[in-house]
């Protein structure tokens, strides 16, 4: 006996379709993408040349950052939640050197990918992941702004890299849900 599969399609509102899928908005997303990419590249590049991040003393800077985050776990309304403090204490601090390299190279890679418009949605996802971890560690700075912009870049993935390498790369590699390559 054959089973029936029902597919429900909920169309996007016209404004959302225009904002996140219309190539006319590609210039807007290009500006957002390059700005966010520049911020990531600037941050990562500074860490790549810093011995406390990727040199002889790799892990020193991230250890200081993580210990600072642990200091924000007390009080009535702590900046760092207990579950994230446990992650820092039991996993991140013992592996500070590895995290140091991951952060420095990750920030640089996200920045380069966003500037080039290469797999923009994926790059924005990993940038969002980095920002969330910095926010969970109690650091505000520019992180909420980048997080906000990256969430929109993820939603605009179809056109955010239109003025970039995605215009040629995405049709070649395809997308997993379309049943082609990738």
Q: Is residue 67 part of a domain?
A: yes
Q: Which residue range is the domain that position 101 belongs to?
A: 37-178
Q: Give how many domains the chain has, as a whole number.
A: 1
Q: Is residue 62 part of a domain?
A: yes
Q: Is residue 148 part of a domain?
A: yes
* Helix (H), strand (E) counts: the chain: 10, 0
Q: Is residue 16 part of a domain?
A: no
- Closest C-alpha to 133, from 46, 66, 51: 66
Residues 6+ apart with CB under 8 A from 139: 65, 69
Separation CA 180–CA 101 (nearest Å): 34
- In tens digits, the chain (182 residues) has pLDDT values of 677 788 888 888 999 999 999 999 999 999 999 999 999 999 999 999 999 999 999 999 999 999 999 999 988 899 999 999 999 999 999 999 999 999 999 999 999 999 999 999 999 999 999 999 999 999 999 999 999 999 999 999 999 999 999 999 988 887 766 665 54
Assess contact for 161 and 167: CB atoms under 8 A: yes
Q: Is residue 31 part of a domain?
A: no
């Amino acid at each position: 006996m054959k089973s029936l599969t029902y597919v429900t399609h909920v169309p996007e509102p016209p404004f959302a379709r225009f904002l996140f899928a219309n190539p006319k908005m590609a210039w807007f997303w290009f500006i957002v993408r390059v700005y966010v990419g520049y911020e990531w590249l600037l941050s990562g590049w500074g860490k790549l040349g810093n011995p406390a991040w990727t040199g002889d003393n790799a892990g020193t800077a991230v250890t200081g950052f993580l210990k600072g985050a642990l200091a924000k776990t007390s009080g009535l309304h702590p900046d760092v939640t207990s579950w994230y403090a446990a992650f820092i204490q039991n996993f991140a601090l013992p592996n500070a050197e590895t995290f140091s390299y991951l952060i420095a190279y990750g920030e640089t890679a996200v920045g380069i990918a966003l500037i080039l418009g290469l797999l923009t949605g994926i790059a924005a996802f990993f940038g969002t992941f980095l920002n969330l971890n910095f926010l969970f560690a109690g650091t505000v700075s520019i992180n909420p702004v980048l997080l906000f912009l990256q969430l929109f870049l993820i939603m605009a993935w179809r056109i955010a890299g239109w003025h970039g390498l995605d215009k040629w790369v995405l049709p070649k590699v395809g997308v997993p849900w379309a049943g082609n390559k990738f």
